[in-house]
Chains A and B, each alone.
Chain A
Amino acid sequence: MTVLAQAAEVTRRYGDVLALDRVSLDIRAGELVGLLGPNGAGKSTLINLFVGLRRPTSGTVTLFGGSPQDPAMRRRIGVTPQETGLPESLRVGEIVDFVSAHFPEPSDKHELLARFGLSDLVRRQIGGLSGGQKRRLAVALAFTGDPELVFLDEPTTGLDVEARRSLWDGITSFHERGGTVLVTSHYIEEIEALARRVVVVGHGRVLADDTMESVRDIVGVRRVSFTAADLRDLDALPGVLGAERADDGRVSLVTTDPDRLVVELVTGGTPFSGLEVKPTTLEEAFLAITSKEATHV
């Protein structure tokens, strides 16, 4: 498959801060890639390098085989602006026209606005839109130039469930027609709903790059919870990555080895009740990967 965007051994520093540390990543035509990681992990820096806003300190970033700084390469991508900065006094239709003027073959304005449920708002000034409408407009702008590759940074932050689902449908249909997507999100279920391939970044490095299922399985972490008022030394239990104790005495542990933990708990003789073992969410999984990584370094 053709590689549309590539980072090769990319390092990026901001002064003393190492934002990316020898990151290599290929985005191939037709992929829908989810980029996950805690705040400050390097997600935004990586996107800024791909869209030409920043240059790497060392290593190379290419877009369609050329430099992201070359406007000709950027004709084939779409990017979401942050909705907080949209020019308030312009009308919805005007901002779409303005962005369209940058592209050789832009999408049809009315078709684009209809796709994102904005048809009724063409004549509305952006300052008068609700937060959710601004967010949808921001995502629509990424598709204005009829791109091959879109970078969606937190596309549904602040949307209600219904609006989020309709936006997901729009992204999925773009992907089904052959479009390539790189999406970041705070919402784990968003990545789970959209992405086929997941890249987990933490501490400026790629910690995992695999299918959604594999990323969950690699970790294999489970949440074990029970009530045990007398149990003190939680971290001494096998494979514990994180421990929390609620006010009501309920203990919640994230562990890589739930079987041994339960055995230990039983043989230890401390009384407990209400045992539950549950699969973790993707968020717990990547917290586990990042914390393991931290202890290795």
Chain B
Amino acid sequence: MSSLVVAHTRYLMTEQIRVPIGILASALFPAISMVAFVVPLAGGQAQAATTASASMTFFGATSGALIGLSIAVAMDREQPWNAYLRTLPAGPFPRFAGRIMSTLAVMLASVVPVLLVAAFFTEATITPLRLLAGLAVLVVCGIPFMLLGLFLGYVLTSKAVIAVSQLLFFPLAILGGLLVPPAYLPDFIGVVSPYTPTRGAAELLWAVTAGTSPDVLSVVMLAVWTVVAAVAAGWAYRRDEGRRFS
């Protein structure tokens, strides 16, 4: 990894830590949900507590990826500082890589409170190996959400993106069964659920952390979402470049 990527990552991380509201926003809501819902309703059963905790970690992580990243990118684009950075002797890659690295760091940081609540207040159980596998799945399944975040950030203004990213994220989280387990979802939601990227990610996460067998349609749809989001993000990036820097 080049020293420029390190420099950009360090700079963006410093900004994140000095204005920690972004990290708090991704970390606090799932931790509170854990205490309010998971602990009283599912905390006593090992399997249910484990899958619910996995859902909550993913909820926090993807809100950082989708909401946090889209707002950061949209705000960046509006700053004259961004134009200055392009006059420095580096291509767009170090900045982009730094953005992704710092988003990953926020995603992983947001997992910690949920894991602590799960460990101390529920019957959730996990082996170190499964935990590591779960974190790996969380990062990989976070990619389509980062790509969606990039797409929104490059297409919308920062004011619009604050609303749109949340309007997109919360329904996806509910439909995908992150807040309420799929078994408890109403039938009509159950029909739509496998087609959301959140459901596919959740299926994989439950499989590696709690040993369930993942729903194939959901996982295939997650792959489709990833490809579509990558194409959309690439298109939005080039369109934005062409408008502002050609």
Residues of A within 8 A of B (CB): 51-55, 71-75, 77, 79-82, 84-87, 89-90, 94, 97-99, 101-103, 125, 141, 145
Near A by CB (< 8 A), chain B positions 60-102 give: 79-84, 86-91
Residue-wise, chain B 7-36 has the 8 Å CB interface mask toward A (1 for contact) of 110110011001100000000000000000
B81 touches A81 (CB 8 A): yes
Task: Please name all residues of chain B whose beta carbon is closer than 8 Å to the beta carbon of A98 when the two chains form the complex.
Answer: 7-8, 10-11
Please name the residue on chain A nearest to B17 by beta carbon.
A89
Residue-wise, chain B 121-138 has the 8 Å CB interface mask toward A (1 for contact) of 000000000000000000
Please name the residue on chain B nearest to A75 by beta carbon.
B89
Task: Please name all residues of chain B whose beta carbon is closer than 8 Å to the beta carbon of A125 when the two chains form the complex.
Answer: 18
Selected A-B contacts with CB under 8 Å, 19 pairs: A53-B83, A53-B86, A53-B87, A54-B245, A55-B246, A71-B91, A74-B88, A74-B89, A77-B87, A84-B80, A85-B81, A89-B19, A97-B7, A98-B7, A101-B3, A101-B4, A102-B88, A103-B89, A125-B18
Q: A81-B84, A85-B79, A85-B81 are in contact. Are A90 and B89 (CB under 8 A)?
A: no
Task: Please name all residues of chain A whose beta carbon is closer than 8 Å to the beta carbon of B88 when the two chains form the complex.
Answer: 74, 99, 102
Report the Cα distance A98→B90, complex, angstroms: 12
The 7 closest A-B pairs by CB, nearest first: A81-B84, A85-B81, A101-B7, A85-B80, A89-B18, A82-B80, A71-B89
Task: Please name all residues of chain A whose beta carbon is closer than 8 Å to the beta carbon of B82 when the two chains form the complex.
Answer: 85
B84 touches A87 (CB 8 A): no
Report the Cα distance A98→B12, complex, angstroms: 10
A72 touches B18 (CB 8 A): no
Task: Please name all residues of chain B whose beta carbon is closer than 8 Å to the beta carbon of A79 when the two chains form the complex.
Answer: 84, 87
Task: Please name all residues of chain B whose beta carbon is closer than 8 Å to the beta carbon of A89 when the two chains form the complex.
Answer: 14-15, 18-19
Q: What distance in Å separates the Cβ of B18 from its nearest Cβ neighbour in chain A?
A: 4
Please name the residue on chain B nearest to A51 by beta carbon.
B87
Report the Cα distance A138→B89, complex, angstroms: 17
Please name the residue on chain A nearest to B82 by beta carbon.
A85
Report the Cα distance A101→B2, complex, angstroms: 11
Report the Cα distance A141→B91, complex, angstroms: 19
Q: What distance in Å separates the Cβ of B245 from its nearest Cβ neighbour in chain A?
A: 6
Report the Cα distance A84→B80, complex, angstroms: 8
B7 touches A74 (CB 8 A): no
Report the Cα distance A56→B4, complex, angstroms: 29
How many B residues, CB 8 Å from partner? 24
Q: What distance in Å separates the Cβ of B238 from its nearest Cβ neighbour in chain A?
A: 14
A102 touches B80 (CB 8 A): no
Please name the residue on chain B nearest to A83 by beta carbon.
B80
Task: Please name all residues of chain A whose beta carbon is closer than 8 Å to the beta carbon of B7 when the two chains form the complex.
Answer: 97-98, 101-102
Task: Please name all residues of chain B whose beta carbon is closer than 8 Å to the beta carbon of A52 when the two chains form the complex.
Answer: 86-87
Neighbour of A90 across the interface among B3, B14, B80, B86, CB < 8 A: B14
Which of B87, B245, B246 counts the most chain A CB atoms within 10 A? B87
Near A by CB (< 8 A), chain B positions 174-222 give: none
A102 touches B4 (CB 8 A): yes
Please name the residue on chain A nearest to B15 by beta carbon.
A89
Report the Cα distance A199→B170, complex, angstroms: 56
Report the Cα distance A74→B89, complex, angstroms: 5
Task: Please name all residues of chain B whose beta carbon is closer than 8 Å to the beta carbon of A74 when the two chains form the complex.
Answer: 87-89
Report the Cα distance A241→B226, complex, angstroms: 64
Task: Please name all residues of chain A whose beta carbon is closer than 8 Å to the beta carbon of B4 when the two chains form the complex.
Answer: 101-102
Report the Cα distance A102→B95, complex, angstroms: 12
Report the Cα distance A90→B81, complex, angstroms: 13
Report the Cα distance A86→B15, complex, angstroms: 12
Beyond known contacts A52-B86, A82-B84, A86-B81: 14 more, CB 8 A cutoff: A53-B83, A53-B245, A54-B245, A71-B89, A73-B89, A75-B89, A79-B87, A84-B80, A85-B80, A85-B84, A101-B3, A101-B4, A102-B4, A102-B7
Task: Please name all residues of chain B whose beta carbon is closer than 8 Å to the beta carbon of A87 when the two chains form the complex.
Answer: 11, 15, 81
Please name the residue on chain A nearest to B12 by beta carbon.
A87
Task: Please name all residues of chain B whose beta carbon is closer than 8 Å to the beta carbon of A53 when the two chains form the complex.
Answer: 83, 86-87, 245
Report the Cα distance A159→B182, complex, angstroms: 62
Report the Cα distance A72→B11, complex, angstroms: 22
Which of B11, B18, B84 counts the most chain A CB atoms within 10 A? B84
Task: Please name all residues of chain A whose beta carbon is closer than 8 Å to the beta carbon of B8 when the two chains form the complex.
Answer: 98
Report the Cα distance A58→B162, complex, angstroms: 39
B245 touches A102 (CB 8 A): no
Residue-wise, chain B 224-239 has the 8 Å CB interface mask toward A (1 for contact) of 0000000000000000
Q: What distance in Å separates the Cβ of A150 from its nearest Cβ neighbour in chain B?
A: 11
Task: Please name all residues of chain B whose beta carbon is closer than 8 Å to the beta carbon of A71 when the two chains form the complex.
Answer: 89-91
Please name the residue on chain B nearest to A145 by beta carbon.
B89
Task: Please name all residues of chain B whose beta carbon is closer than 8 Å to the beta carbon of A103 when the two chains form the complex.
Answer: 89
Task: Please name all residues of chain A whose beta carbon is closer than 8 Å to the beta carbon of B83 when the two chains form the complex.
Answer: 53, 81
Q: What distance in Å separates the Cβ of A13 from its nearest Cβ neighbour in chain B?
A: 11
Please name the residue on chain B nearest to A89 by beta carbon.
B18
